[in-house]
Amino acid sequence: MSEQANPFESLQEQIDDASAYVDADADVLARLKHPERVLETNLSVEMDDGSVEVFEAYRSQFNGDRGPYKGGIRYHPGVTRDEVKALSGWMVYKCAVVDIPYGGGKGGIVVDPDDYSESELERLTRSFAEELRPLIGEDRDIPAPDVNTGQREMNWIKDTYETLENTTEPGVITGKSPDSGGSAGRVAATGRSTMLTAREAFDYLDRDIAGADVAVQGYGNAGWIAAKLIHELDANVVAVSDSSGAIYREDGFNPVDVKHHKNETGSVTGYHNADQELSNEDLLTLDVDLLVPAALENAIDGDLAEEVSADVVVEAANGPLTPDADDVLAESDVYVFPDILANAGGVTVSYFEWVQNRQRFYWTEDRVNEELERVITDAFDNLVDTYESTGAPNMRTAAYVVAIQRVLEAYEEGGNWP
């Protein structure tokens, strides 16, 4: 994975690219390239042996013109202030592209959770929740899971917030477990929107997804569910990977079996039914119909993009292609369907969770999946209409045009505050 591209600069470049197709003053557009505020804090946390460790943590609130800030919290040793700022910006445009009433935010702690016990992680999470308390709230800023966080951490944050505020406010955070106010269908939502985007993309491009060869990079929450649901469309998932490496099978994998293997052994490598093991880079350059990057940002830079042989890329991860990679793939006529649409299922079902929390009325999984399908297919249709009507060079730029226009409308309707 390239270390070179700064994700915040990538975000700003993506906004600049789209700005050429939006009718607005430069000063108004400039505002869309910077966060409104960023919390940087140091969390002192007691370890099990009584010592104290200090962890850097961030929360960026990028833009709130369309509603409360919304976005996940990531636990990863590679978290940086610029990464969190970029991720918070992508959330603004993601919420706008699928037209849900949120702005964008994101948080992160510089930590490798594998190095800590559950009780240490609970104290770390509660300490972060305490720092976040003045900033968050169901009408202010609503965190959610991201890389290496899930229902457990969300439940801890909700409990800390509600205890300190002496209230019941499950909508302060989404991605909770069902008994703590989570929504049916939330865990699978990101992979589901990736599958829906791939399905609509193949339809738009007049290609059959049934029988298509698919490679999926990353076998966490987003990647493995995308692999499973795309396999259910009768596609051949011929390669998958995680941080330990990649596996390949010409006739395609059963993604559920691979997941069982990963649950048992901790990685996809070593799976008994694979024809061969590959490097992560080999997976990204396989000659497949569809490539789904579902790991971290900057997985494909300009140099690697020269070697990408997939015909269609659907981004489950946030920011997996650098702007250079985008240029190279556009020149090679590879269609890239961007993250802000393809992985928007997570935030869309988070929105449904928040709606259900506020109404204290819970939907069935079928209803959640139906509503999600409507949101993603509407957003897809809107995206391709904009792509065709504006002459934008690629789907990403067209998606930003849709999103920026929506954010600007909300901003302009709000008028100026002296």
- Cβ neighbours for 2, distance < 8 A, ≥ 6 positions apart: 298, 299, 300, 301, 304, 322
Q: Looking at 35-43, 61-69, 109-117, 293-301, which segment touches ligand NAD (CB under 6 A)?
A: 293-301
Among 174, 197, 343, 386, binds ligand NAD (CB under 6 A): 343
2 binds ligand NAD (CB under 6 A): no
What residues pair up with 58 in beta bridges, in sequence order? 40, 108
220 binds ligand NAD (CB under 6 A): yes
What is the C-alpha separation between 283 and 115, in angstroms, rounded?
28
154 binds ligand NAD (CB under 6 A): no
223 binds ligand NAD (CB under 6 A): yes
Q: Looking at 95-103, 197-205, 217-225, 228-236, which segment touches ligand NAD (CB under 6 A)?
A: 217-225
Catalytic residue among 94, 106, 176, 259: 106
Among 61, 63, 174, 241, binds ligand NAD (CB under 6 A): 241
- Give whichever of 112 and 234 is closer to ligand NAD, judged by the CB atom: 112
198 binds ligand NAD (CB under 6 A): no
218 binds ligand NAD (CB under 6 A): yes
- Give whichever of 2 and 390 is closer to ligand NAD, judged by the CB atom: 2
Q: Looking at 34-42, 219-227, 355-363, 369-377, which segment touches ligand NAD (CB under 6 A)?
A: 219-227
Among 296, 314, 328, 340, binds ligand NAD (CB under 6 A): 296
Active site residue 262: no
Which residue in the shown chain puts its C-beta closest to ligand NAD? 220
Q: Looking at 22-30, 118-126, 144-152, 204-212, which segment touches ligand NAD (CB under 6 A)?
A: 144-152
Site string for ligand NAD, 316-335 (x = CB under 6 A): xxx-----------------
CB of 249 to ligand NAD, least distance (A): 17
10 binds ligand NAD (CB under 6 A): no
14 binds ligand NAD (CB under 6 A): no
Q: Looking at 15-23, 31-39, 141-149, 365-373, which segment touches ligand NAD (CB under 6 A)?
A: 141-149
CB of 291 to ligand NAD, least distance (A): 12
Q: How many residues at the interface with ligand NAD, by CB under 6 A?
A: 25
In three-state form (DSSP H/G/I as H, E/B as E, the rest C), the secondary structure along the chain is CCCCCCHHHHHHHHHHHHHCCCCCCHHHHHHHHCCCEEEEEEEEEECCCCCEEEEEEEEEEEECCCCCEEEEEEEECCCCHHHHHHHHHHHHHHHHHCCCCCCEEEEEEECCHHHCCHHHHHHHHHHHHHHHCCCCECCCEEEEECCCCCHHHHHHHHHHHHHHHCCCCHHHCCCCCHHHCCCCCCCCHHHHHHHHHHHHHHHHCCCCCCCCEEEEECCCHHHHHHHHHHHCCCCEEEEEEECCEEEECCCCCCHHHHHHHHHHHCCCCCCCCCCEEECHHHHHCCCCCEEEECCCCCCECHHHHCCCCCCEEECCCCCCECHHHHHHHHHCCCEEECHHHHCCHHHHHHHHHHHHHHHCCCCCHHHHHHHHHHHHHHHHHHHHHHHHHHCCCCHHHHHHHHHHHHHHHHHHHHCCCC
Interface residues toward ligand NAD, by CB under 6 A: 1, 145-148, 190, 217-223, 241-243, 280, 294-296, 316-318, 343, 346
Q: Which residues are catalytic?
A: 106
